[in-house]
Structure 1
Amino acid sequence: MNRMLTLQGAAIKAFANGLFTALALTVLLIGHNAKAANPSFSTTIPRGAQSGTEQKVIFYGDRLSDAEEILFHHPGISVKELKVLDSKKVEVTMLVAPDCRLGEHHLRIRCRSGISYARNFWISQFPNVAEVEPNDDFENPQKISLNVTVEAEAKSEETDYYQITAKKGERLSVEIEGLRINNIRNNIAIDPFVSILNKDRFEIASADGSSLLKQESILSVIIPEDGEYIVEVRDSAYQGRGRYRAHIGTFPRPLAVFPAGAKAGSEMEFKLIGDVKGNFSTKAKLPLTTAEGTFGVFGAQGGLKSPSPNLVRVSEFDNFLESEPNNSSKEANPYEGSLPVAFNGILDEPGDTDYFKFKAKKGESFRFRVYANSIGSPVDPVLYIYDSSMKSVGSNDDADGTKDSRVDFKASEDGDYFVRVRDMLK
């Protein structure tokens, strides 16, 4: 008998049916007008909107003169008015619901001649503020309020500066949407770098990428004293060009979440880890199905949420949470239930390693799969499986094109076995 054991579940494919329907519809529409060319949809300006507002958006592309409808992949956004400006531009007035999910959404343009490829559009809790040029001089930055989303464009060999006023002890957070909102295929993108400086140009903190969002930068600090501060945004190599959105405010920005997943349809209390003001908890109910096999957990404080969620794995299996100390085989957390199961742990200090113990019968086959780096954890996991005498029966560092680990093995005899997880660099 083959069974699967994962350290946070298996993906559940659900969205495919809707996507196939859209593709089939495209074929039918093209069939009615064989001479027409598919519409091309490249981008929108602005690249996002605030929840609970009405936003006028220009859709850019080609062969859009017969545009009739905007198709949304997720609920929360509707169209109040659509106006074709010319073959390359469509003006759309959008209505964004107050409870619209924050973060990335996907949409398409439906024309009489066909349906465009999907592009993304971003929803924020904050109002849009347009960049005002020139703002590339540290001594003359663009002044903005806290808790806004700046819609801007980065140019090569240019730095954008934004000035805010903050109070001592206040949290100041910045999150950039740069690579995620541009057309990398057409060489239009920025690899964002962000820093926070005081009025004397002393750097308080900076970021060039993040474990959570990969090449996108996030940054949070506690303001040391009342005064004016500068947020610097640029391409990390001074070469990229493209649009970006900068969320600047007092919102929380946790960097990791525990447990790293839960059973589909269950309600779970999650611990959000790494915010500069300390860890905090929130409850969330996971969906029964998800196309990506993940679910976004937003932690709120003071009525504000992080601009993007911390991802957790949606699994078919029950959770088994670690209990410290479990840093050796003698201290291994014993799981007495039947497999499969989802083990969950935290590597919370340099050199930490986690052991779990489980039982297996001769001839049973298992797959162990770690989900860490692929869901935004800073951990680069190494996975080991041992038999009852602590003889290795399998180990792995990176698998399936990711930094996460996978080991397949077949039990050679009845008895106890051990799972060990550590970080490759710590």
Structure 2
Amino acid sequence: MLRFCLYLCLSAFICGGFSSFVFAAPPAITHLYPAGAQRGTTTEVTAAGTLDATTKVWVSGVGVSAEVSKGKFAVTVAKDAIPSTYWLRAHNAEGANALRPFVVGVLPEVTEKEPNDDFRKPHALDGSTVTVNGRLEKNGDVDCFAVPLKKGQTLVASLQANRVLNSPIDGMLQILSADGFVLEENNDFHGLDPQLAFTAKKDGTYIARVYAFPATPDASIRYFGSDACVYRLTLTTGAFADFALPVREPDAPLRADVRGWNIPKTGKRLLVPKAASGEAFAILSDPEIANTVPLRVEPHAHFVDVDQRDRLAPKYEVPFSLTTRLPAKGTARRVSVSLKKGQALTIQVESRALGLAVNPVIEVFDKDEKRVARAEPAKLNGDSVLAFTPPADGAYSIAASDLYGGGGSARDVFLIRVLEAKPDYDLTVAADRFAIIPGQPTTIPVKVNRLNEFAKNVEISAEGLPEGVKLDVAKPAKAQAGVVTISLTAGKPWSGSFRLIGTIKGEPKYQRTARFAQTESDDTTADLWLTVTAPPKK
């Protein structure tokens, strides 16, 4: 009898402890479906993973909010919200989840209807301008959508999955005739995400077909799918932007020339908004255009010669930027510049970061055509950067080409940036979420990445913490420390977003924000999270 009672007590303890642990655990959300919404709507979103009734949702940016209801998120997007990728973080009193992407668009949205594997029985769309929220939910899954087109209409089909939503797929996109013939197909347009533009030769119904392979290749040969394989498929015969070129007009705000498909006159030249704090790119949007495009905003001279019409090249002086294009396959675009011995330079070529086609190689030649420096992308679908110090005064040429011999298309556009390599720094942290118990401090190492022999003393402070959270900075062993360690202490429970700010005393131009490199994507975030949990019960 005693053994039986002990067994009951032990069982109750284990079950009670397990139940308490599950309830008390932080949310664990793996992905969202649908993964976006149109401006001016409220959308019910399934948050795959675990969350409890106390879970709340923090959203980056302005104009988007989310609440938890019956195990799902109700995401409300304001009519004037900026079309972009927002980040959602689920949290409760015990901790927070990693950030999850949520895309705000301008087109009407629908959710995929199954079954639609067979092109003869597709999900019939009401029109030719829509964003479809879909999911390849199992191995072998194929999704087909019927789109009505008129002769001469150009349909742009663009899939957001791996690059934006961290979906584990290498997508394939096809346009079929009503009787199943493949008329156009694409993969790997933006990284692993496909995009195509198709012009109908006659009136009729056409089929947009989506399937995928695993983003991380394996030994199997199959169409890939799982609950996490979510996507957003934009289909439009309206305006769709590809890239933008800066336009400088005397005594006028900066504008951008938008290149793409079906762009109306009102959308071809847009006013460039101010870049977000700490960001080098402005995001261009227009109510008549289905998507957004980034444009790097430069603090120095920026030249544009994409159409190769500038036969009399300007005199380039460091620092400068040049947006240009590879005129033919296998060619290089050369820029002549006069440099001084010992002048430390940083030379960057960006194309992939702008969603364009060049995989850039940088080469530097001296006056005798001897190559003195070279750099290529450090990773697949990456851009290039080269640190170069001229060994002598004189004339040099900087050449940019494509790693795979590309060139000649309208999309072989890139940006050359030639900058002085001035001393500077940035800050990084190894995590974006921290949890502490009242009265028990936690330490956060902040890495100071010193560039070009930057030697100034960096001071760390915090933005967004309440009065009850105290920040202390451990005195570095040396003034030019590579790591500054801070500690946070709190007196009572609290949770919220905060930022760590680096400053140099008396020099406001050196203010920098610590960023965390997200492990599931190429994105970084400055929005860190602190949870001060309740003290343990005695």
| Cα distance in 2 for residues equivalent to 1:161 and 1:324 | 38
Cα 1:178–1:252 shift into 2, 3 Å: same
- Note if 1:122 corresponds to 2:103: yes
| Cα distance in 2 for residues equivalent to 1:110 and 1:202 | 48
Q: How many residue pairs get matched?
A: 368
Among 73, 81, 93, the alignment partner of 2:60 is 73
Cα 1:350–1:274 shift into 2, 3 Å: farther
Cα 1:270–1:64 shift into 2, 3 Å: same
* Counterpart residue number, 1:304: 288
* Counterpart residue number, 2:122: 141
- Note if 1:234 corresponds to 2:211: yes
1:257-279 C-alpha deviation (Å, 9 max, x unpaired): 435x99xxx94333344537899
Cα 1:289–1:200 shift into 2, 3 Å: closer
Among 169, 176, 181, the alignment partner of 2:159 is 176
| Cα distance in 2 for residues equivalent to 1:247 and 1:60 | 23
1:309-345 C-alpha deviation (Å, 9 max, x unpaired): 3333343432133387599xxx7834254x2222221
1:146-180 C-alpha deviation (Å, 9 max, x unpaired): 22222222131122211121111112121112224
- Note if 1:293 corresponds to 2:280: yes
RMSD: 3.2
| Cα distance in 2 for residues equivalent to 1:200 and 1:305 | 31
| Contact 1:332-1:357 at 8 Å conserved across structures | no
Among 313, 318, 321, the alignment partner of 1:333 is 313
Q: Which runs of 5+ in 1 are unaligned?
A: 1-32
| Contact 2:33-2:230 at 8 Å conserved across structures | no
| Cα distance in 2 for residues equivalent to 1:136 and 1:45 | 19
Among 242, 254, 271, the alignment partner of 1:268 is 254
Cα 1:223–1:255 shift into 2, 3 Å: same
TM-score (norm 2): 0.61
* Counterpart residue number, 2:134: 152
1:363, distance to aligned residue in structure 2 (A): 2.4
| Cα distance in 2 for residues equivalent to 1:390 and 1:267 | 40
| Cα distance in 2 for residues equivalent to 1:400 and 1:42 | 26
| Contact 2:158-2:235 at 8 Å conserved across structures | yes
1:253, distance to aligned residue in structure 2 (A): 3.4
* Counterpart residue number, 1:423: 402
TM-score (norm 1): 0.76
Among 180, 204, 209, the alignment partner of 2:183 is 204
- Note if 1:56 corresponds to 2:44: yes
* Counterpart residue number, 2:387: 408
| Cα distance in 1 for residues equivalent to 2:276 and 2:258 | 23
| Contact 1:43-1:60 at 8 Å conserved across structures | yes
1:120, distance to aligned residue in structure 2 (A): 1.0
Partner-residue secondary structure (3-state), 2:342: coil
Cα 1:106–1:227 shift into 2, 3 Å: same
* Counterpart residue number, 2:494: none
1:394, distance to aligned residue in structure 2 (A): 1.4
1:90-140 C-alpha deviation (Å, 9 max, x unpaired): 442x32112222242101123233332211112122222122222112222
| Cα distance in 2 for residues equivalent to 1:379 and 1:281 | 23
| Contact 2:116-2:144 at 8 Å conserved across structures | yes
* Counterpart residue number, 2:81: 100
Give the residue type in structure 2 aligned to 1:151. N
| Cα distance in 2 for residues equivalent to 1:286 and 1:125 | 18
Partner-residue secondary structure (3-state), 1:71: strand
| Cα distance in 1 for residues equivalent to 2:117 and 2:379 | 43
Among 30, 36, 39, the alignment partner of 1:42 is 30
> After alignment, is 225-234 or 122-131 more displaced?
122-131
Partner-residue secondary structure (3-state), 1:370: strand
Partner-residue secondary structure (3-state), 1:191: strand
Among 165, 183, 201, the alignment partner of 1:224 is 201
| Cα distance in 1 for residues equivalent to 2:109 and 2:87 | 19
1:52-106 C-alpha deviation (Å, 9 max, x unpaired): 1222334343242212x32111112124xx3542xxx2442x3211222224210
1:3-46 C-alpha deviation (Å, 9 max, x unpaired): xxxxxxxxxxxxxxxxxxxxxxxxxxxxxx9x943222233332
The structure whose RCO (Cα within 8 Å, separation 6+) is larger is 1
* Counterpart residue number, 1:317: 300
| Cα distance in 1 for residues equivalent to 2:95 and 2:363 | 51
1:379, distance to aligned residue in structure 2 (A): 0.8
| Cα distance in 1 for residues equivalent to 2:307 and 2:76 | 49
Rg bigger for which structure?
2
Aligned pairs for 1:305-384 (under 5 A) are 305-307=289-291, 309-322=292-305, 333-337=313-317, 339-384=318-363
| Cα distance in 2 for residues equivalent to 1:178 and 1:349 | 31
* Counterpart residue number, 1:164: 147
> After alignment, is 311-320 or 223-232 more displaced?
311-320
| Cα distance in 1 for residues equivalent to 2:68 and 2:57 | 11
| Cα distance in 2 for residues equivalent to 1:196 and 1:291 | 41
| Cα distance in 2 for residues equivalent to 1:168 and 1:423 | 36
| Cα distance in 2 for residues equivalent to 1:175 and 1:197 | 15
Partner-residue secondary structure (3-state), 2:353: helix
% identical equivalent positions: 24
Give the residue type in structure 1 aligned to 2:194. S
